[in-house]
Amino acid sequence: MPPEQPNPYERHAIKTTALPYVGPDQPQTNVNVEPAGLQGGGGSSWNAEDTAIAAIKLINVLFLLFGVIEGVIFIRFLLKAIAANSAAGFARLIYGLSDPLVAPFNGLLGTPGFRGAVFDFSALIAILIYVLISLAITKLLRIIFVDQPTLRR
């Protein structure tokens, strides 16, 4: 005869330990439990190395974001330089995305053109400014969070 299989639908009693009774004549203590990872002193705590790793990840995200911005503006520059049809869907998409990014720099310099092609100095200045902004922000993050004396070895 095969051994009897346990019934998966049968309820089993779970052993629990009762908490001690705290009455009015006994002192009551409050126990504060911190979530794992936030415990001070023991366990895994958020330290300078974790902060540096998080800052480096943020720096990488910022480089990606500014890289996309600069790429869109550069594609705008190329489309204007080759006199692309501004009614085409891709050109409208790029111009729509880049117009607000280049708008603060419009009118700083002239835009020389030849047979419909335009040398868009505003786009080049915008790229330069966004590169400088991204470098300044990431350098500041590195100074504050990554280049700490405790992390240098």
Residue 22: inside a domain: no
Domain residues for the domain of 140 are: 49-146
Output the pTM of the full model. Answer: 0.64
Residue 56: inside a domain: yes
The percent of residues above 90 in pLDDT, for the chain, comes to 44
Residue 31: inside a domain: no
Q: Among positive and negative, which fits the CA dihedral 100, 105, 110, 113?
A: negative
What integer is the mean pLDDT of 99-109?
90
Which residues 6+ apart lie within 8 Å of 30 measured at CB?
none
Residue 2: inside a domain: no
Residue 116: inside a domain: yes
Residue 44: inside a domain: no
**Cα dihedral: 121, 125, 130, 136 (round 10):** 170
Q: How far apart are CA 97 and CA 91, in angstroms?
A: 10
- The better pLDDT of the pair 28, 82 is held by 82
Residue 73: inside a domain: yes
Question: pLDDT digits over 108-144, tens only?
Answer: 877 776 777 888 899 999 999 999 999 999 999 999 8
Does the pLDDT value for residue 62 go beyond 70?
yes
Residue 9: inside a domain: no
The count of structural domains within the chain is 1
